[in-house]
Amino acid sequence: MEENKTAAGGEHSLSIENTKRISATGIEGVQGFSPTQFTLIYAGGKIVVGGSDMKMTTFSKQTGAFAASGSITSVKYLASAAGIKNRLFK
């Protein structure tokens, strides 16, 4: 599974390999990393990833590269409040 999205302010990509490895680009920060859930911050909002036995293997704030391994069971995009307002009030 691979996805590219263009958000207000930047582009990112997300790739999941066999539900065992996740990698992403365009990541601005990592929030609340635990073995069962973590949240990635990108220009358009947040990406919440759920699973088990997850371990962060790479994160570079300078390049925006992120990688983690474990059993990945869910990925949820949460748009920033500004993004939703911009779409509603064009």
DSSP E strands: which ranges in the chain?
A: 2-7, 10-17, 21-25, 27-31, 37-42, 45-59, 66-79
% of the chain beyond a pLDDT of 90: 71
Q: Can you tell me the distance from the alpha carbon of 42 to that of 64, in angstroms, rounded to the nearest whole number?
A: 9
Q: How far apart are the first and last CA of the chain?
A: 32
pLDDT computed for residue 76 by the predictor: 96
Backbone angles phi, psi at 56, to 5 degrees: -75, 130
Whether the pLDDT of residue 5 is over 90: the answer is: no
- What does DSSP say about strands 21-25 and 66-79: parallel, antiparallel, or unpaired? antiparallel
- Whether residue 23 has pLDDT greater than 70: yes
pLDDT tens digits along 25-57: 999 999 989 999 999 999 989 999 999 999 999
Q: How far apart are CA 52 and CA 35, in angstroms?
A: 6
Q: Is residue 82 very low, low, confident or very high in pLDDT (cuts 50, 70, 90)? A: low
Domains of the chain: 2-79 (2.60.40.2000)
Confidence of residue 79 (pLDDT cuts 50, 70, 90): confident
